[in-house]
Homo-oligomer: A and B are copies of this chain.
Amino acid sequence: MGPHAGLDLVEKILTLTPATKDQDHLPVALLSYPERIPDRSTFLMDPSQPSPVPVLTAVARQLDDLGATVAGIPCNTAHAPAIFDAVREQLRASGHQIRLLHMIDEAVRHVQRTHADLRRIGTMATLAVHRLKLYREAIARAGFEPVVPDERVQVEVINPTIFDPQWGLKVQSTPPTERARQSLLEAIDHLRDNGAEAIFLGCTELPLAVPESHLDGIRLIDPTRVLARALIRETYPDRLSAPASDQAA
Contacts and interface: CB of A to CB of B under 8 A. Distances in A.
Contacts of A4: 11, 14
Interface in A20-34: 20-34
B32 A27 contact: yes
Interface in A138-166: 163, 165-166
Contacts of A85: none
Interface string A7-18: 100110010000
Interface string A66-98: 100000000000000000000000000000000
Contacts of A38: 23
Given A7-B11, A14-B4, A19-B171, A66 B31 contact: yes
A22 B10 contact: no
A227 interface: no
Contacts of A26: 35
Contacts of A166: 20
A113 interface: no
Contacts of A163: 21
A148 B20 CA distance: 28
A195 interface: no
A30 B27 contact: no
A130 B214 CA distance: 45
A66 B181 CA distance: 38
A24 B35 contact: yes
Contacts of A106: none
Interface of A: 1-4, 7, 10-11, 14, 19-39, 62, 65-66, 163, 165-166, 170-171
Given A23-B34, A27-B32, A29-B30, 20 more contacts: A2-B22, A7-B7, A7-B10, A7-B11, A19-B170, A21-B39, A21-B163, A21-B165, A22-B37, A23-B38, A24-B34, A26-B35, A27-B34, A27-B35, A28-B30, A29-B31, A30-B30, A31-B66, A65-B65, A66-B66
27 contacts: A3-B14, A3-B22, A3-B25, A4-B14, A7-B7, A7-B14, A10-B30, A10-B32, A19-B171, A21-B39, A21-B165, A22-B37, A22-B39, A22-B170, A23-B35, A23-B39, A24-B35, A25-B34, A25-B35, A26-B35, A27-B33, A27-B34, A28-B30, A29-B31, A30-B30, A31-B66, A62-B66
